[in-house]
Structure 1
Amino acid sequence: MASSRLQVTARQLSKTFKKKGRFEIGIASELPPAYKKFWREWKVLKPAAVHFVPQEGKWKRDELTGETYPIQNIPIPLKFPAEINEGIWGGEAVVKGFQKRDDRRRRVPHYWVPVLKRTVVRSEVLNTHLSVTVTDRTISLINDHYGFDHYLLKTPACDLVSVLALKLKKQILTELMNGCPRHAYDPKKQMEIYEEYKTYLSSYTPEEIEWYGLTWYEALSKVAKLKEAANKPIPLKNVYRKNLVEKLKSAGIESKSSSADEISATTSWLSKMNPFGKKDEA
């Protein structure tokens, strides 16, 4: 009885003192839903299995013993070095583990690194060739999707992983949203490419494309700049000068320096009293 009461109390306390999430602290709370959607696609969604073969179903029966046991598709822990953001690895990463190279010796730590190669890919929408670092799986995926642009646009952010791939995807979506202006020299080809890829725009809004592909710090920096531009302070001298000009106009007082430009051009009496200042030429 006492244990059940303690459990209820613990649940109530957990609801009361709930730990704040990433988007509830500081300036991150002002991030728009468009970026939250991208972040969920990039960091929260479960990526496709690359380094292991997942088994279907929930239960499996052993053919020898007839024993039934649950299927557990536990992904292999991966290491994502900084170099992964400079290429397109197709979902591959570095695997850390142990390797037993001799039966008479103990196992030793080992890193399995993907085989990287430099190749050139072509983007039809961007109308350019790109030299990128890829893996064999990346080339296979590009061939399976019948083109580099189709591969980027069909693959979710959690499988692209690298920042370079996300930036290119955002650039392609922006180009499609603007009507493929890089093919303006050939209107017929421009229309063909737009008709081929325009179906991908239905999954995104202009705001989502604007925030797509930004890293966490880039998104926070953008929010800070937008906030600073919206709340940019106006110098009080401009406000007082404008009020003075309006009062003079309403009172009907004529003055040589009635306009704001002429008032700003006139020198103050303090500058005339400055002995080190430049004197007006006669």
Structure 2
Amino acid sequence: MSARIHKFRNAAYKYVFSKEAHQLLPAHYKRRCMEFMQGEPTAVHWQPEQGPFKLNPNTGKRERVQNVPVKVVYPEECNKGLWGGEGLVVGYRKSDRRFASRIPKIWRPYLTKRVLYSEILDKYFEIQVTLRTLDLIDEVFGFDHYILKTSEVDLNSQLAMKLKREMLLALVQKTLYPEDPTIREKVHNKYKQYLMPEEEAEWVGLTLGQAMHKARDKHAKENPTRPLKEVFTQQFIQDLSEGTAEHQTEDSWMSKLIPFGSKTSSKS
């Protein structure tokens, strides 16, 4: 599961696991991360052709289809908004100059700030979006449906994943609309198709650093560190209760409590 960044697709953020991460992180979190890193996003800036072959309109001959995706760059600004799969398209444009056939060019998506309402969280958010994002929200009939239904591969935004985590936890913990039980049940039933176990919802949308911090705390609680003095004392009490400590001298069990005591006494 561990792989270098260059083996993965281009994205607004990355997941690169260390040996410690493999040991501590839960399997469902690592599975979602790898699905994001290796998944193919929906084509936005180009339209792939279907089938293995096509007819050349000029010659009428059958040719093999070669789908070459457009090179898209996703800057860090994608994590602060909802770009709907759009990014910076890197390419060339024709030149009017005599000795220059093409000039490098970057096409940027049109960004605008809009106020979006979350029915689950009962909050308004001012978010930088593209026009395609607004169309996608209309297609699924609401901002909450868009966040919960769209995969992480197509969202490609840490802000979107943070909102998804808050929505999922609000649904599974039923903390939405605490002062109105009627609306709470109505909204909960409307979005119950997205419910998942709480132990998995807690990990959705966490960055790798946040997930490692959570995993280390969980591991420390499940495996508390015990002082050696406490361990040897408990063992000695158990030996006394079982009667196996009768033939041990005072130096033998004292050396367990104070490992360097015998060396010190021998030198003196």
TM-score (norm 1): 0.72
Between 127-136 and 210-219, report the one with greater CA deviation: 210-219
SS of alignment partner, residue 127 of structure 2: strand
Contact 1:100 1:108 in 2 (8 A): yes
SS of alignment partner, residue 91 of structure 2: strand
Contact 1:86 1:164 in 2 (8 A): yes
Cα deviation for residue 188 of structure 1 reads: 1.4
- Of 41, 60, 83, which aligns to 1:66? 60
Q: Does 1:39 align with 2:69?
A: no
Q: Which residue of 1 aligns with 2:79?
A: 85
Q: Which residue of 2 aligns with 1:55?
A: 49
Q: Which residue of 2 aligns with 1:230?
A: 222
Q: Residues of 1 paired with 2:73 and 2:221: CA distance?
A: 39
Runs of 5+ unmatched residues, structure 2:
5-15, 242-268
Cα deviation for residue 234 of structure 1 reads: 3.4
- Of 138, 142, 145, which aligns to 2:140? 145
Q: Residues of 2 paired with 1:105 and 1:83: CA distance?
A: 36
Cα deviation for residue 48 of structure 1 reads: 0.2
SS of alignment partner, residue 183 of structure 1: coil
- After superposition, the C-alpha distances for 1:108-160 in whole angstroms (9 at most, x for unaligned) are 22111111111110000001101111111111111111100001111111000
User: Which has the greater radius of gyration?
Assistant: 1
SS of alignment partner, residue 211 of structure 1: coil
Runs of 5+ unmatched residues, structure 1:
1-18, 251-282
Q: Residues of 2 paired with 1:110 and 1:64: CA distance?
A: 30
Cα deviation for residue 27 of structure 1 reads: 0.7
Cα deviation for residue 228 of structure 1 reads: 3.1
Contact 1:34 1:207 in 2 (8 A): no
Q: Which residue of 1 aligns with 2:98?
A: 104
Q: Residues of 2 paired with 1:229 and 1:101: CA distance?
A: 64
Q: Which residue of 2 aligns with 1:196?
A: 190
- As a proportion of its length, which structure holds more helix? 1
Q: Which residue of 2 aligns with 1:208?
A: 200
- After superposition, the C-alpha distances for 1:83-107 in whole angstroms (9 at most, x for unaligned) are 1101111111111122224253522
Q: Which residue of 1 aligns with 2:170?
A: 175
Q: Which residue of 2 aligns with 1:156?
A: 151
- CA RMSD in angstroms comes to 2.6
Q: Residues of 2 paired with 1:223 and 1:187: CA distance?
A: 34
Q: Which residue of 1 aligns with 2:13?
A: none
Cα deviation for residue 229 of structure 1 reads: 3.3
- Of 100, 109, 121, which aligns to 1:114? 109
Contact 1:34 1:208 in 2 (8 A): yes
Contact 1:60 1:71 in 2 (8 A): yes
Cα deviation for residue 70 of structure 1 reads: 1.6
SS of alignment partner, residue 126 of structure 1: coil
SS of alignment partner, residue 64 of structure 1: coil
- After superposition, the C-alpha distances for 1:162-183 in whole angstroms (9 at most, x for unaligned) are 000011011111111112x231
SS of alignment partner, residue 70 of structure 2: coil
SS of alignment partner, residue 228 of structure 1: helix
Change (3 A) 1:65 1:129: same
Identity %: 38
Q: Residues of 2 paired with 1:78 and 1:56: CA distance?
A: 21
TM-score (norm 2): 0.75
Change (3 A) 1:47 1:24: closer
AA of the residue aligned to 1:148: F
Contact 1:41 1:156 in 2 (8 A): no
Contact 2:91 2:106 in 1 (8 A): yes
AA of the residue aligned to 1:85: N
